[in-house]
């Protein structure tokens, strides 16, 4: 049986101490294996190193000497659309979380997260799941619901019933494989439905589509 390839990580933080700490945590994990393949401390270096190394996941700080992590995220995804960016920040700010999602990030985590939680988040993102820090999720979802409600409802109305079912499962954090199993669809069919959903909603990332769905769904009573 072939060994599972490691999840390849690029660390982006202007603090060498923080980078060393994260590397030490990730180096001890074996299932799945996680390997830090590069580091950067600026927006420019992050974009350059991501293009050179082509990591699976970028762990990205918000505050960088030459700009914001959100700008780095946009530039990275413009060049490497398959890279999964996760913001790892010390700032629990609703607008920051929203900006991270709008920039295309797969998730937003606080630096106070425990080592096991960080490793699990990386494993989840590697499997295609979107993640948000639990403390920030409820506040951000309320923020999202206050914006462009009418346009959101019109866009959702353009989806077919099956596309809505697929989107609802994306919002639950399901992977393509799990969606296929739930709806009895092949992986390729799920990808086709997602492509159509992304086009109709004018989004590019799973996290954006999930946020769009939650934003437009009536609050539970």
**pTM, rounded to two decimals:** 0.65
Residue-level pLDDT at 129: 81
| Cβ(209)–Cβ(198) below 8 Å | yes
Give mean pLDDT, residues 30-58.
92
**Read out DSSP for 34-72?**
EEEEEEESSHHHHHHHHHHH--SEEEE-SEETTEEHHHH
Residue-level pLDDT at 221: 44
Residue-level pLDDT at 135: 60
Q: Report residue 156's pLDDT band, with 50, 70 and 90 as the boundaries.
A: confident
26-31: long-range contacts (C-beta < 8 A, 24 or more apart)? Answer: 26/118, 26/119, 26/122, 29/119
Length of the chain: 221
Q: Does residue 151 surpass a pLDDT of 60?
A: no
**Read out DSSP for 170-196?**
HHTT--HHHHHHHHT--HHHHHHHHHH
Give mean pLDDT, residues 29-53.
91
Residue-level pLDDT at 93: 72
Q: Of 38-47, 62-71, 132-141, 192-201, which range is least confident? A: 132-141
Residue-level pLDDT at 215: 67
Question: Given the DSSP bridges, would you call strands 107-110 and 131-132 parallel, antiparallel or unpaired?
Answer: parallel
Percent residues over pLDDT 90 in the chain: 44
Structural domains of the chain ordered from first start: 7-140 (3.40.50.2300), 148-214 (1.10.10.10)
């Amino acid at each position: 049986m072939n060994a599972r390839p490691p999840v390849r990580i690029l660390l982006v933080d202007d603090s060498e101490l923080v980078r060393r700490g994260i590397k030490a945590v990730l180096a001890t994990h074996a299932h799945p294996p996680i390997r830090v393949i590069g580091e950067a401390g600026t927006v420019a270096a992050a974009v350059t190193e991501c293009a050179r190394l082509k990591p699976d996941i970028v762990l990205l700080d918000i505050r960088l000497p030459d700009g914001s992590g959100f700008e780095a995220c946009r530039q990275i995804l413009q060049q490497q659309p398959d890279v999964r960016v996760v913001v790892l920040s010390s700032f629990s700010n609703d607008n920051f979380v929203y900006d991270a999602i709008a920039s295309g990030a797969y998730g937003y985590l606080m630096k106070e997260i425990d080592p096991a939680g960080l490793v699990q988040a990386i494993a989840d993102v590697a499997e295609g799941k979107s993640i948000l820090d639990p403390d920030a999720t409820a506040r951000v979802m309320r923020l999202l619901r206050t914006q462009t409600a009418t346009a959101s409802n019109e866009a959702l109305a353009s989806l077919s019933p099956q596309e809505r079912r697929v989107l609802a499962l994306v919002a639950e954090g399901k992977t393509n494989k799990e969606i296929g199993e739930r709806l009895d669809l092949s992986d390729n069919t799920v990808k086709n439905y997602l492509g159509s959903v992304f086009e109709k909603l004018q989004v590019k990332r799973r996290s954006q589509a999930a946020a769009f769905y939650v934003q437009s769904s009536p609050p539970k009573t």
